[in-house]
Amino acid sequence: MEMALGFVILLACLVIGVRHGGIGLGVISGFGLLAFVFGFGYVPGSPPVDVMLIIIAVVTCAGFLQTSGGLTVMLKYAEKFLRSNPKHVTIFAPLTTWFMTVLCGTGHTCYTLLPIIYDIAIKQGVRPERPMAISSVAAQAGICASPASVAVVSVVGFLVASGADISLLQVLAVTIPATGGGVLCAALWSYKRGKELSDDKEFQKYIEDPANRAYVYGETAESLVDKELPKEAYRATIIFLVGILVIAVLGNFPDLLPKVPNAKGAWKPLSMVLVIQMVMLLLAAIILLTCKVKAKDVGNSQVFRAGIVAFVSVYGVAWMADTYFDAHMAFLKEFLGTAVANYPWAYAVLAFLTSKLVNSQAAAIAIVVPMGLSVGMDPVLILSFMSACYGYFFLPTYPSDLACIGFDRSGTTKIGKYVLNHSFMIPGLITVSSGCVIGYVIAHAII
């Protein structure tokens, strides 16, 4: 009875917190912590300090990148690539939004690309829903494949803390092809989805009105292709990309790292958790000193603000969840351990539902990964199903999906009459399910 009541409190905090956004999710967790510790007498769990420090380092570096104009440089070349391949926008657009997320660690870059994708599609006579819906999904799917994302650095932190011998490069070796392959499968399905615009009676009736026609086919986005950017922006981009490469090399070749004594006195290579933090802070410092960035402006950047929201969310949610699960670990090990052993896909379903519940891959990981590791789940399985940590497309309430609907002036990208039959449902399900299958195969082949 007590366990069930505690779970209801945990669930209620998540549901109420989500209604108030990421920071709200973090602070509402305080109610759950208070109830568990003072009401039920549970021993307080531990907030994931290492993970939180990585998040701070990563979002700080990303904030300097955006403030310097380095992010705009990446978007400029992404637009140039798309406009040079207009006929296959349904395939190239989602791969581009996915790749931008992999590079930058955030799916928010898609807000700049979505109106460009619409402009290319409508001028090519392509039903805008085809490239736009999957592009929005792809931008979020790429989070679990980015070395600069909160989700990936969180997984690395949890795996290192558990003693698992899995490097950052091994994580990316699974998640990059898994999420990228899932996006490609969904893009191929989207290639012929829906009616051609010429055969869509609803669309044709809408554009009979000259005002509507002008609205649908008018200019939608200011192009970055011909925009002159300062040399410092290009310099910042190079600095950031070289830094990501350095992290990947150090993660794959631990012999390059200095040796430090561990808790048992044995000399081991420096933890990648610390290496990531050091490199990210160094990159931010170099950008600050060489790219004419004002440090005070970084706090106002969109990427930095979004990262801090994730930080607070992970802090509260992970602490509350750790307190609850630790109190019932014996039962969870028996029940979940058996379930995962017999039905490995149960973990993927749990991760998917949790992600939808908290509307964040990082927050979902903060809940399900430590729980999975604590009940003895094989870390290889956790990596196999990383794609399942993206489930918040299930209901069309996420900002990028709503923005996508707004940018599609043709009205083809939409929420259906029954809500669940929206434009993102099938591309999202294909992306996640394909990603899990590909991830499972690759993880078991290389780790």
Tell me what pLDDT residue 254 has: 75
- pLDDT digit string (tens) for 256-274? 888 888 767 778 778 777 8
Q: Is the pLDDT of residue 96 over 90?
A: yes
Q: Is the pLDDT of residue 358 over 90?
A: no
Q: What is the mean pLDDT of residues 380-401?
A: 87
What is the Cα–Cα distance from 247 to 147, expressed in whole angstroms? 8
Q: What is the mean pLDDT of residues 32-43?
A: 91
Neighbours of 221 (CB within 10 A): 16
Helix, strand, coil shares of the chain as percentages rounded to 5?
Answer: 75, 0, 25
Domain boundaries, the chain: 47-446
What is the Cα–Cα distance from 114 to 135, expressed in whole angstroms? 8
Q: Which residue has the higher pLDDT, 309 or 76?
A: 76
What is the Cα–Cα distance from 425 to 414, expressed in whole angstroms? 11
> To the nearest whole percent, how much of the chain has pLDDT over 70?
95
pLDDT confidence band for 95 (50 / 70 / 90): very high
> To the nearest whole percent, how much of the chain has pLDDT over 90?
31
Q: Is the pLDDT of residue 429 over 90?
A: yes
What is the Cα–Cα distance from 317 to 320, expressed in whole angstroms? 5
Task: Say if pTM beats, i.e. exceeds, 0.85.
Answer: no
- pLDDT digit string (tens) for 267-324? 877 877 788 889 889 999 999 999 988 988 988 887 788 778 778 877 888 788 888 8
Tell me what pLDDT residue 18 has: 67
Tell me what pLDDT residue 131 has: 95
The answer to whether the CB of 94 falls within 8 A of the CB of 387 is: no
Q: Is the pLDDT of residue 397 over 70?
A: no
The answer to whether the CB of 232 falls within 8 A of the CB of 292 is: yes
- pLDDT digit string (tens) for 182-229? 999 999 999 999 999 999 898 999 898 988 888 888 765 667 777 888
Alpha helices in 343-390 (DSSP H): 345-358, 361-374, 379-384
pLDDT confidence band for 373 (50 / 70 / 90): confident
Residue 268: strand pairing partners: 260
Residue 140: strand pairing partners: none
Q: Is the pLDDT of residue 57 over 90?
A: no
The answer to whether the CB of 394 falls within 8 A of the CB of 359 is: no
Tell me what pLDDT residue 275 has: 84
Tell me what pLDDT residue 245 has: 85
Q: What is the mean pLDDT of residues 235-241?
A: 92
pLDDT confidence band for 337 (50 / 70 / 90): low
Tell me what pLDDT residue 126 has: 93
Residue 177, judged by CB atoms within 10 A of its CB (0-12, 13-18, 19+), counts as: middle
Tell me what pLDDT residue 22 has: 65
Q: Is the pLDDT of residue 231 over 80?
A: yes
- pLDDT digit string (tens) for 102-132? 887 777 778 778 888 998 999 899 999 999 9
Q: Which of 12-16, 67-71, 99-103, 184-188 has the lowest mean pLDDT?
A: 12-16
Alpha-carbon separation of residue 87 from 125, 236, 410 (angstroms): 9, 32, 18
Tell me what pLDDT residue 389 has: 92
What is the Cα–Cα distance from 86 to 427, expressed in whole angstroms? 21
- pLDDT digit string (tens) for 152-172? 888 888 888 788 878 888 899
Tell me what pLDDT residue 222 has: 66
Tell me what pLDDT residue 220 has: 59
Residue 267: strand pairing partners: 261
Q: Is the pLDDT of residue 21 over 70?
A: no
Tell me what pLDDT residue 196 has: 92
Q: Which residues of 81-107 are buried (b: 16+ CB within 10 A; e: fewer)?
A: ebeeeeeebbbbbbbbbbbbbbbbbbb
